[in-house]
Chain A
Amino acid sequence: MAEIIGAIGSSHIPAIGVAIARKIQQTPYWKPFFDGFPPIHDWLAREKPDVAIVFYNDHGLEFFLDKKPTFAIGAAAEYISYDEGWGIDTIPPVIGDEGLSWHICNELVEDEFDITICQELGIDHGLTVPMQLMWPGNSYGHMKVIPVVINCEEHPMPSPKRCFDLGRSIGKAVESYEKELKVVVLGTGGLSHQLDGQRAGLINKEFDIMCMDKIVNQPEELLDFSIRDLVEIAGAQGVELNMWLAMRGALTGQVTELHRNYHIPISNTGAGTMLLSNK
């Protein structure tokens, strides 16, 4: 049977992709952030997952506002990274796992999650930057990826509890898949930040640290926040915590924190990095 071996929380800020392209990871600005990744690289090399389920949000590449799914899931053989309009590098195609995608879709709808199933899905920095962070030099050719897109752009957005429950349902679906596969779950985005409005530049370090503490073994304590609460406390883009909660929901075993890093600022953001095992 397939099993979820762990989870990685990570930022997906476009500027990280720019830093990678310019090879400036070891400059004073970037080093404290990129130094958070070697322990994750070591863990991935040791544990050798076959599949990554990646929770992210689409910032206006695949989805415009004409049709805006609350939850969308990739069910394609490959996913293409396209021009986002302002110069971030694209990455080579990412390989999908159609069989597992459809199994998850079947189980989710049975579980009353009315998802949008995508046999084509262009991927933006929400997914491509974490791929570059986890597998430097685009060395992800051996990985199969299942993108899960959560609406963080247009209100109304799904609640933290709903996103956690989506993750839980995906976790159960993976565990009922008959193939022997090791699966890692990625929660991307966040943590606190606000890009728009006169309050741009808001970062809430105390809240971010609290979320990273709670998400390990008391994630239910984060589920009573409303989306409005998250906007007020963690900024307009602080709602990206939802991807971390979906990630955590997918872990149904005994969860242990193996590593974390937190650095301010990366671009306009409090950048959290976290590795959790699931036994």
Chain B
Amino acid sequence: MSYLDDKTPIPGTILFDGTMARKGYGLNKMCYSLNDQAARAEFSRDEMAYCEKFGLTTEQKKAIKARDVIGLLEQGGSIYFLAKFTGGLGLNMQDIGAIQTGMTVEEFKEKLVKAGE
């Protein structure tokens, strides 16, 4: 029996498993391509045209447009590939943390510091 057979949700967490990997394949492939500088330039010139090339769904394109990180995760995005998209926008992991938790960046950083106390 696989540990993935336990379907009990883990609060605030989406396990990136086969279901999500299938759902997000095009989205993640688009993000993976952003390892390359020329691809990043092309993406910046026309984000939606670039997304079309990788067959992103309407929901995925909407989430890219809105910088909706939770939406992207729900649409099958893997945080490791999404980081190439958000990093290219100049957002670091505390910015991403704030977006996902609905906190300000300062509040999110404070939460991290508190974990050490």
Interface residues of B (CB under 8 A from A): 2-4, 6, 10-18, 21, 25, 28-29, 31-32, 34-37, 40, 69-70, 73, 78-84, 86-88, 92-94, 96-97, 100-101, 108-109, 111-113, 115-116
Contacts and interface: CB of A to CB of B under 8 A. Distances in A.
A200 B102 CA distance: 11
Interface centre among B14, B35, B37, B113 (most CB of A within 10 A): B35
B106 to A, nearest CB: 13
B35 A83 contact: yes
A263 B113 CA distance: 10
A265 B28 contact: no
Contact of A265 (B18, B96, B112): B112
A153 B109 CA distance: 25
Interface string A9-53: 000000100000000000000000000000000000000000000
A85 B94 contact: no
**Chain A interface helix/strand/loop/mixed:** loop
Given A60-B84, A154-B16, 9 more contacts: A60-B35, A85-B40, A86-B88, A199-B10, A200-B96, A227-B3, A264-B113, A264-B115, A265-B113
B2 A197 contact: no
Interface stretch (A73-81, A127-135, A164-172, A228-236): A228-236
A65 interface: yes
B84 A85 contact: yes
A223 B58 CA distance: 43
B14 A197 contact: yes
Given A156-B3, A200-B96, A86 B112 contact: no
Contact of B116 (A64, A199, A232, A265): A265
7 contacts: A60-B31, A65-B25, A83-B35, A199-B13, A236-B15, A267-B94, A268-B94
A69 interface: no
A56 to B, nearest CB: 13
A199 B11 contact: yes
Interface of A: 15, 59-61, 64-66, 82-87, 153-156, 194-205, 226-228, 231-232, 236, 263-265, 267-268, 270
Given A64-B29, A154-B21, A205 B80 contact: no
A199 to B, nearest CB: 3
A54 to B, nearest CB: 19
A197 B71 CA distance: 10
Contacts of A203: 112, 115-116
B73 A196 contact: yes
A83 B34 CA distance: 10
B61 to A, nearest CB: 20
Contacts of A195: 79, 83, 93, 96-97
Nearest to B69: A196
Nearest to A199: B12
Contacts of B83: 59-60, 85-86, 195
A130 to B, nearest CB: 18
Contact of A263 (B92, B109, B116): B116
Contacts of A87: 87
Contacts of A61: 35
